[in-house]
Structure 1
Amino acid sequence: MEFIDYYKLLELDKSASQADIKKAYRKLARKYHPDLNPNNKEAQARFQQINEAHEVLSDSEKRKKYDQYGKDWEHADQYEEARRQQQAAGGARYGGGFGGYGDSRQRGQAYSGNFDEDTFSDFFEQMFGSSARAHGSRRHSHFKGQDYNAELELNLSDVYTSQKQTLTINGKNIRLTIPAGVENGQTIKIKGHGGPGVQGGPRGDLYITFKIINNTTFKREKENLYSTVNLSLYTAILGGEITIDTFNGKVKLKVKPETQSGTRVKLKGKGFPKYKKEKQYGDLYITYKIEMPTNLSAKEKELFRELQKLRS
């Protein structure tokens, strides 16, 4: 069987991270998926190879064997066992040690433990026959379907509480529960709701990315909310009680005398729900902005002048 370089197939080098492998796989799987390339046998074969490459390189143990043994990676354990047996036998050559395969000199090769890729191929073919490598290919004949990606746009006020939504994907209705507190740009996976598998393989998954539109006067940072409240000059100086808006209703708030503009107060537990944490909320931070009075009457101006004299 012709050697397929999994790294080259996924357009990666051997130093690629798992994130790089996943990204490359998704890109190429979409490109060559049978649904997008009907009646294209070449694209289907490429799609199968891409799935096989991803299955091997995304598994740390399989990738380690592949990096060491190349196309014969599936028989690495047998090779290691054979080498251990050779060492235990006092360094006997492999050629006569496996049930009459003949003296290694007949092949012009002494299997001393330093193998290149061609040597591995000859060795495994000797031990297991030419069908050994084909067996690995048959094992990977069932491939997972294409993953689907969708974007769901919601208002910030919509995700203050958990809610149910019905999405239509490829003509099929999917009912899902959206937990309160979901964030803008967050992606969730709905297992088994992607494209159909190839040759009996499992369906792909559905990835939903949320786009949250802020339709409120609050600023949100994760589970905390921020708001600016205008405060009259007189209330700021003398103190008092004001009524302010929170995300789920109004509350009364006491203002201390001589409150300065820019003062921030925290209302514990009045923020946004914490994602997937039942009955847990962030905080609401209120920043006071002092409003200067306008259109003063002559009497008011006079009173301010008197205050100015008193302060000076």
Structure 2
Amino acid sequence: MDFIDYYKVLGLTKSATGKEVKSAYRKMARKYHPDLNPNNVEAEKKFKQINEANEVLSDPEKRKKYDQYGKDWQHAEEFEKAKAQQQSRQNSSQRAYNGAQGDDYSDFFESMFGGSGFGRQEREVKFRGQDFNAELRLSLTDVISAHKQTLTVNGKNIRIAIPAGIEDGQTIKIKGQGGTGSSGAPKGDLYITFSIQNNTTFKKVGANLYKTIDIPLTKAILGGEITVETLTGKVKLKVKPETQNGAQVKLKGKGFPVYKKDKQFGDLFITYNIKIPTNLTETQKELFKQLENSNLN
């Protein structure tokens, strides 16, 4: 595999901060996105490299391995383990192995498991493919029901099923949709983190929804029927006579779907805000005076 300088891909230096990595990735991903460059092979290749670069440099642990091992960063643990085993054999046989003293860990590992010289083994080393990470941005109304969506990850279109009730920040794994393994080893996995934006007028707490609505003073006193919005449409709600300001009612099952719980929903809580009338006519004011004089508490 040819070495790709991920810092150069994003137009950064090794001293770049995590914030700078994130900013550079977003800027270049927009520029080379396949949707903006249809049928452009070079743009598709560049977009894939940009995603690979972000995958590594945005993760502190992966970035540390990349800075030390370059293109072989994914095999850092194997290198260290193989190096320790080699040293152990050297000590037991009192034989020096000079080829492992350089900085080229790729050549060192090749000599350990495939090349000529001390420590040669007649077998092929296989490495599982790299895991990919992606972020999917959706609105709250996008996830009130299950649906399928096509994503573009590293230039590849992947169709996934999005369960109803997926939460903001939640991550799901798509098995076998990561990088290709070496020498027939299994592919890596794809991890998708969801960023859910609340595009509604409801406050969401878990699967429950909350909303404050205004009701006329007369409706609060005498009772009646009002229409309220829910995530799935309008419903009629009866207001009890003599309803107090701040009173709360629960609409059972009218909240957000519960993740992976078929036909289970949270509740919707409606809080009443009694609206005091303004711009009263003289006749209306007189009526209120009569109520006041009737010793109404």
TM value normalised by structure 1: 0.60
SS class of match (1:311):
coil
CA contact 1:157–1:215 (8 Å) conserved in 2: yes
- Alignment partner of 1:49 out of 63, 76, 94: 76
Aligned pair count?
A: 220
Shift of 1:30: 5.5
- The 5-angstrom pairing of residues 45-124 of structure 1 reads 45-50=72-77, 122=92
Q: CA RMSD in A?
A: 3.8
Give, as a single letter, the amino acid of the residue that structure 2 aligns with 1:231.
I
Preserved contact between residue 74 and residue 130 of structure 2 (Cα < 8 Å): no
Answering whether residue 219 of structure 2 is matched by residue 235 of structure 1, we say yes
Partner of residue 290, structure 1: 274
The question of 1:303 aligning with 2:280 is answered no
Deviation at 1:195, TM superposition (A): 1.8
The partner residue of 2:125 within 135, 141, 147 is 141
Unaligned runs of 5+ in 2: 1-58, 94-111, 113-117
CA separation of 1:153 and 1:235: change in aligned 2, threshold 3 A: same
- C-alpha displacement of 1:141: 2.9
Which of 221, 241, 245 is residue 205 of structure 2 equivalent to? Answer: 221
AA aligned opposite 1:311: N
2:38 aligns with: none
Indicate the residue corresponding to 1:175 in structure 2: 159
**Equivalent residue for 1:150?**
134
Closer, same or farther in 2 for the Cα pair 1:44/1:163, shift >3 Å?
A: same
Contact kept? 1:48, 1:141, Cα under 8 Å: no
Contact residue 142 and residue 200 of structure 1 kept, 8 A: yes
Counterpart residue identity of residue 50, structure 1: E
Q: Contact (CA 8 Å) 1:52, 1:140: kept in 2 or not?
A: no
1:153-189 deviation digits (Å, cap 9, x = unpaired): 1111111111110011122110001001011111111
Q: SS in structure 2 opposite 1:302?
A: helix
Paired residue type of 1:188? I
Quickly say closer, same or farther: Cα 1:253–1:51, change in 2 above 3 A: farther
Match of 1:194 among 172, 178, 186: 178
| 1:165 maps to 2:192 | no
Moved more, 290-299 or 200-209: 200-209
Q: TM-score, normalised by structure 2?
A: 0.63
Deviation per residue, 1:59-97 (Å, 9 max, x gap) = xxxxxxxxxxxx67xxxxxxxxxxxxxxxxxxxxxxxxx
Which structure 1 segments of 5+ residues have no match? 1-25, 57-70, 73-116, 124-130
SS in 2 for 1:280: coil
Q: Which amino acid aligns with 1:265?
A: V
Distance 1:51 1:288 in 2: 63
Deviation at 1:199, TM superposition (A): 4.0
Whole-Å separation in 2 of the counterparts to 1:138 and 1:252: 76
Report sequence identity in percent.
55
